[in-house]
Structure 1
Amino acid sequence: MGGVTFPAGLTSGNDLSRLIPGYSWYWANPSYQMGTYGIGTGYLAFWLYCSNGLVIHSWALSPSSEGDFGSPAWATVWHPNGLHEVVAVDADSNASDPWWSPYSGKKYFNKFNFNLSMRNASFYIEQSVRES
């Protein structure tokens, strides 16, 4: 599942940081276009761009309407050298401060606690523009 094929000469040993911008399948790539995408039960997803160069994608595919992340929930951690790892999202991760869209009638959240004990990391995320 997944994978990347690199043309000869594009990388140097295990250092994948010299990849041409846009030449990647990973979802942190700003030029990536997903096309049609849907998950029937809803989902919570984050793309966190950290100051140390890490990019963290979190996915919770069956969150509850109360804000629990549910299962499955995982994160991929992308390192500046191109290495990536998949880690479990802790069960105590959650969303809070809900609001309902007047247009769709769907419930959304403004605040999130996102914990990755496998990497000794916790994130508190609050939308800078409420109800957006």
Structure 2
Amino acid sequence: MRINRVLFALALILFAITLYRYSSGAWYTVGYRTGLLSLDRLPEHMQDWLPATPLWQDAIYLGGYFGTLASIVLLVMRRSIVVWVYLIAGGLGRLDWALLPFSPAPMALFLGWTAFLQYAVLVGLMVALNRRGFFR
């Protein structure tokens, strides 16, 4: 049981980091797309990139963000469906990253590779917790 708690705590920490990384971009994207933020209010690195990103790519990104939020809730509730929800949500986030080089102003690639590693570790942790009978 002690190992389950350590794995659970590690998964929560990694989810918190993932959500932190998603949050700023998600809120700037929603603010800009809804007209609540003007272009000059965006961070400098997003001023060229966000207007050039197609709306469908933003939908993929936001789907990953909200899916990650749902995954955190499901993890805390100890629901086994969290594995599948995060597989889809994380997959959407990685798909968005894979599409970035096709945007006119691509973001840093290093963050994308670390996100891939983090995604793999989180999925592994959740599969391990599921196999150890932690989830209901």
TM-score by length of 1: 0.26
**Which structure carries more relative contact order (alpha carbon 8 Å, separation 6+)?**
2
Report the structure, 1 or 2, having the larger helix content: 2
TM-score by length of 2: 0.25
